[in-house]
Amino acid sequence: MARGEKVAVIGPSGSGKTTLLNLIAGILTPAEGSIRVGDTEVSALSDAARRDFRISRIGFVFQDFELLDYLNILDNILHPYRISNALRLSREVRTRAATLAEGMAIGDKLGRRPGRLSQGEKQRAAICRALLPNPDVILADEATGNLDPRNKGHILDLLFDSAEHHGATLLAVTHDHELLPHFDRVVDFQNFRAGAAA
């Protein structure tokens, strides 16, 4: 992928789409080969270095949100800044978190716990957390999967705007084929399976 490119990944369940995102983020390490993001060989980093790399350079929108029930929404959005020295929490960061939440229409929900939010609102909180550090790479695993059609387009626009504003690369796993025309390129994992079978 080129820097700034917006790529959608599609394919059948179980074909490795989420595994690909986890490899790029350094959550998983490959049994063979290597993973490189920009000038960093992620697969060669230590566990701690991979964690810092992921927190500072990767914005990951997880399919199951990964929100912490015991924290309110603002603290969930700010959480990456509290678990690593790779990021520094400041007044400017707090202001940006609130601005992102307003843009996602959850600005009035920042004091609530995740259990008091709808699935779509949780999704938007997870997206705010991913975008807050201005990452080089945004990985989105079904980021619009729990949203109604109107919000789906809005969230996609926010992801694209954030990527373009910061020169970030966007890699999105989706089953929603209506969204595909918005991306620069589409990678279909079904083609890999067909090639392996041949």
Q: Please write the tens of the pLDDT for every residue from 32-61.
A: 999 999 899 999 999 999 999 999 999 998
Instruction: Name the pTM for this structure.
Output: 0.88
Does some domain include residue 164?
A: yes
Q: How many domains does the chain have?
A: 1
Binning the chain into helix, strand and coil, the percentages to the nearest 5 are: 50, 15, 40
Does some domain include residue 1?
A: no
SS3 assignment, position 144:
coil
Identify the pLDDT of residue 15. Answer: 87
Does some domain include residue 30?
A: yes
Does some domain include residue 180?
A: yes
Does some domain include residue 131?
A: yes
CATH of the domain at 53: 3.40.50.300
Question: Can you state the angle between helices 119-131 and 91-103, rounded to 10 degrees?
Answer: 140
Q: Please write the tens of the pLDDT for every residue from 116-175.
A: 998 888 988 998 999 999 999 999 998 777 667 777 777 788 788 878 887 889 999 998
Residue 94 CA: distances (Å) to CA of 30, 73, 144: 36, 12, 25
Identify the pLDDT of residue 195. Answer: 58
Does some domain include residue 89?
A: yes
> DSSP labels for 25-38?
TTSS--SSS--EET
Q: Please write the tens of the pLDDT for every residue from 106-129.
A: 999 999 999 999 888 898 899 899
Identify the pLDDT of residue 40. Answer: 94
d(CA 170, CA 99): 21
d(CA 92, CA 144): 28
Does some domain include residue 93?
A: yes
d(CA 173, CA 39): 24
Look up the domain containing 147 and give its range: 6-197
